[in-house]
Amino acid sequence: MAEPVVDILMYHSVSDRGGATAIEPATFAAQMDAIAEAGLPVIALDDLLAARDGRGALAPHSLILTFDDGFQDFADAAWPVLERHGFRPIVYLPTAHVGRSEDWRGIADPPRPLMGWGTIAALAAEGVAFGSHSVSHADLDALSPEALHAELERSRQRIEDRLGRRVTHFAPPYGIAGPAVRAEIARLYRSSVGTRLGRARPGDDPFDLPRLEMHYFRDIGRWRAHLAGRGAAYLAARRGLRALRGMVARPWQGTVSGSAR
Q: Which residues contact residue 57 at a Cβ distance below 8 angstroms, ignoring those fewer than 6 apart?
A: 4, 51
Contact of 166 with 160, CB cutoff 8 Å: yes
Residue 131 or 206: the one with the smaller Cβ distance to Zn ion is 131
Contact of 116 with 98, CB cutoff 8 Å: yes
Residue 174 or 223: the one with the smaller Cβ distance to Zn ion is 174
| CA separation for the pair 14, 18 (Å, rounded) | 10
Residue 68 or 139: the one with the smaller Cβ distance to Zn ion is 68
Q: Measured between alpha carbons, how far is residue 180 from residues 49, 107, 148, 185 in Å? A: 22, 27, 10, 9
Residue 7 or 69: the one with the smaller Cβ distance to Zn ion is 69
Beta-strand pair 129-132/90-93:
parallel
List residues near Zn ion by CB under 5 A: 68-69, 173
In 16-167, alpha helices (H): 25-38, 45-52, 72-73, 79-85, 117-126, 145-163
The CB-of-159 to Zn ion minimum distance in angstroms stands at 15
Q: Is 164 helix (H, G, I), strand (E, B) or coil?
A: coil
The CB-of-158 to Zn ion minimum distance in angstroms stands at 16
The CB-of-193 to Zn ion minimum distance in angstroms stands at 11
The CB-of-136 to Zn ion minimum distance in angstroms stands at 11
The CB-of-144 to Zn ion minimum distance in angstroms stands at 21
Residue 225 or 255: the one with the smaller Cβ distance to Zn ion is 255
